[in-house]
Amino acid sequence: MKKIFAFAGILLALGMGSAFAKKASDENKVKVVTTIFPEYDWVKEIVGEKAADVELTLLLNNGVDLHSYQPSVKDIAKIQEADIFVYVGGESDEWVDDVLKNVKSPNQKVINLLEVLGDRVKAEEIVEGMEHEHHHDEHGHDEHGHDEHGHDDHDGDHHDDHGHDHDEHEHEHDAHDGHHNDHDEHNSDKHEHHHVDDHNEHHHDHEEELDEHVWLSLKNAQILTNAIADALCQADSKNAEVYRKNLASYNAKLSDLDSKYEAAVKAGSKNTLLFGDRFPFRYMVDDYGLKYYAAFTGCSAESEASFKTIAFLSEKVNELGLNSVCQIESGNGKIAKTVISNSKNKKAKVLTLDSLQSTTAKQIKKGATYYGAMEKNLEVLKEALR
């Protein structure tokens, strides 16, 4: 009997020792929490072969809309324990300030994408023919050079990546309706000291509603990955050389893809996109000098277009000789098909561009990446501009 108790005691001790070892191992990892998929995937690309040294969490990975998302208790705990927290920083993230008041580490690095981009961020825009909610009229909108432009949403639940194990987690909230590589050293320092803020220096300005969909610009993506790499190098200096090497390699790929977008726009016979949906692609079209028309702004909660909007968009299909009407990945095609049926070009196609707001844990497990989605968007863009 004594042997049984002794053996049980040994097993208990071993179990406790294993638990303590695991806890110690976990404690040595750099904890990174991201809100949306592009941020998450950028971290993965920079971390690369050092994934085992980083505990990476994606909060929105089940289709939850960025604009209606509210963090669960579990989400809040993860954010407050993180060494690095990356989020968009627009009106949809107003909840962040309260969460960060109770952060456990005074050295936590907080990366607000809009703050990193500074003057590159644009105000939400209403363009001709677009449905809009009344409160949008209270905000100033860029005239923009072309007299047309807009903005969008859609995102998901909770995805932890320990090494590269992709585990889905149930959330405690409702899922209603998520620069160039020649970025010089001066700008990199600027990111490190101003944009990659320690929690105690963190701040916001909410004077106007900003277009939050900054990740849909490949030029912006290169700036933002620099800021993320800066934070990772500060939090995990022993792997800094690897992070810098991976950053350079990844940004070279993004820069090359950016050049392919420029070439595709130059080769296209059209210079206007028409969306029978919300429009989150303003940063993309601005990068390449394209024009657009759309049913709704990017963060609109509306889903039913008026007869006036349908008629306007249908007439634009006729006027511009367009062969397609676009929608975002979460669209059902209803408005786009109605626009086409009311135009002269009944054979126009409905094309889908991915705004990377609805990427799920299941898609990540199957290999979804930011770069891959933007590559596919390029092929869709080529067809839309024919």
For residue range 265-287, list pLDDT tens digits in order.
Answer: 999 999 999 999 999 999 999 99
Computed on alpha carbons and rounded to an integer, the radius of gyration of the chain in Å comes to: 23
- Read off the pLDDT of residues 190-199 as tens digits, 9 standing for 90 and up: 333 334 554 4
Q: What is the mean pLDDT of the chain?
A: 80
At residue 28's C-alpha, the angle toward residues 110 and 86, to 5°, is 20
Q: What letter represents residue 103's amino acid?
A: V
Task: Compute the average pLDDT of residues 319-332.
Answer: 93
State residue 68's pLDDT score. 74
pLDDT confidence of residue 72:
93
CA atoms within a 13 Å half-sphere pointing along the CA-CB vector of 207: 4
Q: Do residues 175 and 72 make contact, with C-beta atoms less than 8 angstroms apart?
A: no
Give the mean pLDDT of 4-23: 38
Cα separation, 214 vs 121, whole angstroms: 7
Confidence at residue 154, expressed as pLDDT on a 0 to 100 scale: 37
174/158: higher pLDDT = 158
Distance in angstroms (rounded) separating the CA atoms of residues 194 and 118: 10
Which of 80-84, 96-100, 298-302 bottoms out in mean pLDDT, i.e. has the lowest?
A: 298-302
d(CA 177, CA 170): 17
Q: For 351-365, write each residue's pLDDT tens digit.
A: 999 999 889 999 999
Instruction: Point out which residues pair with 272 in neighbouring strands.
Output: 291
Task: Find out whether 360 and 62 touch, Cβ atoms under 8 Å.
Answer: yes
Strand 349-353 to strand 324-328: parallel, antiparallel, or no bridges (unpaired)? Answer: parallel
- Take residue 166 and report the two structure tokens written for it: 């992709």
Q: How confident is the model at residue 133 (pLDDT cuts 50, 70, 90)?
A: low
What pLDDT sits at residue 313? Answer: 98
When pLDDT is averaged across residues 130-138 and rounded to a whole number, the result is 56
Residues 6+ apart with CB under 8 A from 345: 317, 318, 321, 322, 323
Q: Measured between alpha carbons, how far is 203 from 377 in angstroms, rounded to an integer?
A: 34
Distance of CA 235 to the CA centre of its chain: 22
The reported pLDDT for the residue numbered 11 is: 32
Question: Which value, to the nearest 10 degrees, does the dihedral of the CA atoms of residues 60, 62, 63, 64 take?
Answer: -50
Segment 213-224 shows an average pLDDT of 98
Amino acid at 78: K
CA torsion sign, 262 to 264 to 267 to 270?
negative
Separation of alpha carbons 5 and 140, rounded Å: 74
Residue 177 and residue 328 in contact, taking contact as beta carbons nearer than 8 Å: no
- Tell me the DSSP string of 236-258: -GGGHHHHHHHHHHHHHHHHHHH
- Residues 323/317, Cβ–Cβ less than 8 Å: no
Angle of CA points 144, 149, 152, to nearest 5°? 130
Q: Decide if 26 contacts 54 (C-beta within 8 A).
A: no
Query: Is-contact 377 355, C-beta < 8 A?
Result: no
**Widest CA span of the chain, in angstroms?**
91
The neighbouring-strand residues paired with 198 are 109
32-55 b/e (C-beta count within 10 Å ≥ 16 → b): bbbbbbbbbbbbbbbbbebbebbb
Q: Residue 161 — very low, low, confident or very high, per pLDDT cuts 50/70/90?
A: low
Q: Distance between terminal CA atoms of the chain?
A: 83
> What would the two tokens of residue 138 be?
């209270």
Write down the pLDDT at residue 348: 98
pLDDT tier, 292 (very low <50, low <70, confident <90, very high otherwise): very high
Q: Tell me the C-alpha distance between 327 and 347, whole Å.
A: 16
